[in-house]
Amino acid sequence: MDIILLFVAFVILLLFTLVLNKSLLIAAFVSLATVIMGIIISEGFSSFRILRAGIHGTIVALEISLLVLGALTFFNYLKSAGFIQNLETSLKTFSTNKLMVVILLAFYFGGFIEGISGFGTPAMIVAPILLGLRFPPYLAASLSLLANTIPVVFGAVGTPIKIGFDDLPITQVPQYTTLLLLLPTILMPFALKRLLKLGGMITIYPETGKLNFVSLLAGIAFVVPFIVISLYSVELPSIMAAIIGLLAWLQVLKNIGGSMPRVNSTLIKQLFKTFKPYLLIALLLILGKTLLGSTKFSILWPSIGLNKSINVFQPGLVFFIGLLCIYLSNSKQGASIRPAFKASIQRLPTTFACIACLAIIASLLASNLQMEELFATGFIPAAFAPSLAIATGFLGSFIAGSATMSNLMFGAEWYNLGVNAGLNTSLLLACQLAGSALGNALSVQNIAMVQAVLNESGMERKILQTLWKPVLFFFLLLSLSAFIWGYL
């Protein structure tokens, strides 16, 4: 029954945002109320289950709200202190080609940040920068969300695999995942180019050849180290693919001649200088994850079955620490932290309420999905299991806003199903993981976070309308890849 309620929640969220044009908060509240009513009707009223899910979801919402507040305060201060204007100038000097700027920021830098910290941090950083570069708010959000899909599979130094699949055997899961994502990774820059064209930010003709070359080179430069490093580690593929890929991409662009876009090494150095506030955040994220990444404390309430672990490492606090460092080193500029904080916190209550509703839904439905029942009846053939695993991964992330949470919800179910049905368990878990990464692009929770950090509202419908086609394309591509690898 819970898997049906999860699908119902998905439909309600799409119906209210896309068709009825309601806010995410209203959609999330109606979804939560429907799920609770469905549980009561099918299983009876359980105050312990609802209370446990409510506390769990509230804690998750507090953690995410801290990230939103930190990222937004950081950006607002940088803007008032003139850093954003300097960064805009450097990026314009680096290239007048909007696609090159988006690939640099959303694809590579965003992938690097995702590899370090996860938690939706890349979009919190990249979207405001794109907004400062005069991108329309919906497009800044859409580009950031779509680009932050591929690196999610190894995000937060492998958390979706190490924590999401808990004690499950994962020996071949990273390799299968990168093979499933081979074509989507190569084609991701082309999808970003498509969004830029539809948003009126670039003209395709007569520069089709240039833009296709830039896109193809960026995808290949990322995917090669992505696949190779996944053979040896689940912590480093996203981080190293972003670093190695960016260096290779810039090196080729710097040295080629003709009419192709070129990059001047002097301009890269200038860009590095103006990018220092964000490089400081990256450094602090690395230090925090290295020193505190495995440190947790738990909130226990045995009588209701609550056991919620909370990471000491919180990316939201990293933004405040970085902000304090920048403020102390630039105090003569006259910018104050207080107005930036005040402007940022005004949007927080709505964001918190929306995320809390979604997190409570995920917590309510995470423990009793019973996937095997769908196949035991023979209604769904086992051959469709890989595609359905991609779908459940997507669905879990869409609701919960987290690939790790999606894997916790469905990973054990797919592993047990694979063992009992004689299917390739590594492929099934890889499909679940790849789908959960793709689901981050349309996650209503992530959309709420990005809207808050952009100080915008009411963009849900526009963002979903912008992203559903490329997301559907990548979903079908993943399903085709899963079908092929399943028979090899």
Q: Side chain identity at 238, as an amino acid letter?
A: S
pLDDT over threshold 90, residue 431: yes
- Under the banding of pLDDT at 50, 70 and 90, the label for residue 420 is confident
- Higher-confidence residue: 221 or 10? 221
pLDDT over threshold 90, residue 399: no
pLDDT of residue 86: 77
Angle at the Cα of 352 from the Cα atoms of 311 and 148, rounded to 5 degrees: 65
Q: Can you tell me the distance from the alpha carbon of 369 to that of 376, in angstroms, rounded to the nearest whole number?
A: 14
Q: Can you tell me the distance from the alpha carbon of 263 to that of 184, in angstroms, rounded to the nearest whole number?
A: 26
- Under the banding of pLDDT at 50, 70 and 90, the label for residue 364 is confident
300 DSSP β-pair partners: 307
pLDDT over threshold 90, residue 355: no
- Higher-confidence residue: 408 or 432? 432
For residue 168, the surrounding DSSP H or E stretch is none
pLDDT of residue 185: 96
pLDDT of residue 370: 61
Q: Choose among 332, 276, 337: nearest CA to 79.
A: 337
Q: What mean pLDDT, rounded, does the chain reach?
A: 83
Q: Can you tell me the distance from the alpha carbon of 94 to that of 92, in angstroms, rounded to the nearest whole number?
A: 5
Helix boundaries (H) for 236-371: 237-255, 265-274, 276-292, 315-329, 337-345, 348-365
Mean pLDDT highest for which of 72-76, 104-108, 346-350?
104-108
| Cβ(155)–Cβ(116) below 8 Å | no
Could you count the other beta carbons within 10 Å of the beta carbon of residue 297?
9
Q: How large is the average pLDDT for residues 232-255? A: 86
pLDDT of residue 46: 77
- Higher-confidence residue: 329 or 373? 329
pLDDT of residue 183: 95
pLDDT over threshold 70, residue 307: yes
Q: Can you tell me the distance from the alpha carbon of 403 to that of 126, in angstroms, rounded to the nearest whole number?
A: 20
Tally the domains of the chain: 1
Could you count the other beta carbons within 10 Å of the beta carbon of residue 331?
11
- Higher-confidence residue: 297 or 369? 297
310 DSSP β-pair partners: 297
Whole-model pTM: value is 0.84
Q: Can you tell me the distance from the alpha carbon of 84 to that of 129, in angstroms, rounded to the nearest whole number?
A: 7
Write out the residue range of the structural domain in which residue 385 sits. Answer: 2-486
Instruction: Match 């309510």 to its residue by tokens.
Output: 364
pLDDT over threshold 90, residue 164: no
pLDDT of residue 274: 72
Q: Which residues of 358-386 are buried (b: 16+ CB within 10 A; e: fewer)?
A: bbbbbbbbbeebebeebbeeeeeeeeebb
The pair of structure tokens assigned to 23 is 């806010």
Q: Can you tell me the distance from the alpha carbon of 104 to that of 98, in angstroms, rounded to the nearest whole number?
A: 10
The pair of structure tokens assigned to 93 is 């000097």
pLDDT digits (tens, 9 = 90+) for 27-39: 889 999 998 998 8
Helix boundaries (H) for 15-172: 24-43, 47-80, 83-94, 98-102, 110-116, 121-132, 137-147, 155-162
Helix boundaries (H) for 366-443: 372-376, 385-400, 403-421, 425-439
- Under the banding of pLDDT at 50, 70 and 90, the label for residue 83 is confident
pLDDT of residue 302: 79
pLDDT of residue 376: 58
pLDDT digits (tens, 9 = 90+) for 62-78: 887 887 888 888 888 88
- Under the banding of pLDDT at 50, 70 and 90, the label for residue 381 is low
The pair of structure tokens assigned to 366 is 């995470």
| Cβ(79)–Cβ(459) below 8 Å | no
| Cβ(378)–Cβ(422) below 8 Å | no
| Cβ(120)–Cβ(444) below 8 Å | no
pLDDT over threshold 60, residue 434: yes
pLDDT over threshold 60, residue 257: no
Which of 70-79, 125-134, 370-379 is the least confident region?
370-379
| Cβ(178)–Cβ(171) below 8 Å | no
For residue 479, the surrounding DSSP H or E stretch is helix 460-486
- Higher-confidence residue: 46 or 214? 214
| Cβ(386)–Cβ(396) below 8 Å | no
Q: Can you tell me the distance from the alpha carbon of 446 to that of 400, in angstroms, rounded to the nearest whole number?
A: 9
Q: Can you tell me the distance from the alpha carbon of 62 to that of 60, in angstroms, rounded to the nearest whole number?
A: 5
pLDDT of residue 206: 57
Three-class DSSP category at 300: strand
Quickly list DSSP for 173-241. Answer: HHHHHHHHTHHHHHHHHHHHHHHHHHTTS---TT-HHHHHHHHHHHHHHHHHHHHHHHTT-SSSHHHHH
> Measured between alpha carbons, how far is residue 387 from residues 27, 382, 412 in Å?
27, 10, 17
pLDDT of residue 242: 92
Mean pLDDT highest for which of 159-173, 253-267, 300-314?
159-173
Q: Can you tell me the distance from the alpha carbon of 136 to that of 459, in angstroms, rounded to the nearest whole number?
A: 11
pLDDT of residue 228: 94
| Cβ(237)–Cβ(178) below 8 Å | yes
pLDDT of residue 271: 64
Q: Choose among 416, 441, 427, 468: nearest CA to 178.
A: 427
